[in-house]
Amino acid sequence: MAKAPAGTLYRGREGMWSWVAHRVTGVLIFFFLFAHVLDTALVRVSPDSYDRVINTYKTPIVNLMELGLTGAVLYHALNGLRIMAIDFWEKGPRYQRQMTWAILAVFVVVMVPGAYFMLEHTVRTMFGSAT
C-alpha cells in the first residue's frame, strides 16, 4: 500500500469542520430561500393555498426548523467574516484557529438567548403555561 506524501492529508481539525459547516449551512439557506420564493409565489396563484401553507408554518416542528435556520444563517455569517479575515488580513491564516473558536463563542452567546425567545411561545403553548 502506497503511503501518501507528508503534508497532503488533511487532519480534520477546526478548519475542516468549519469548511464543512459553512458548505452545509449555505446549502440549507439556499433551500430555505427556494422554498420561500415558491410559497410566496402562491399568493399570486392561489391566495387560499397560500393561507393554508402559511398556517402550516405555525406548528412547533416548523418553529424548531426556524431555530435551525436562524442558527444556520448566524453561523454562515460569522464564518464568512472569519473567511474574509483570513483572506484579506495578512495575519489571518496564522490566527484562523483562534478565530474559529471566537466565532463559535459568539454563536453560542447569541443563539442561547435567541433560542429561548424563539421557543418560548411554542413551549408555553405545548405545556399550557398560564403566564
pLDDT tens-place string over residues 85-112: 999 999 999 999 999 999 999 999 999 9
- Average pLDDT of the chain is 89
Residue 87's pLDDT is 94
Tell whether domain 16-122 is in CATH 3.30.420.40.
Answer: no
In sequence order, what are the residues at sequence separation of 6 or more whose Cβ sits closer than 8 angstroms to the Cβ of residue 76? 22, 25, 26, 29
Cα 21 to its chain centre, rounded Å, is 9
CA-to-CA dists, residue 44 to 33, 37, 40, 62, angstroms: 18, 12, 8, 23
Cell numbers for 105: 463563542
What is the total residue count of the chain?
131
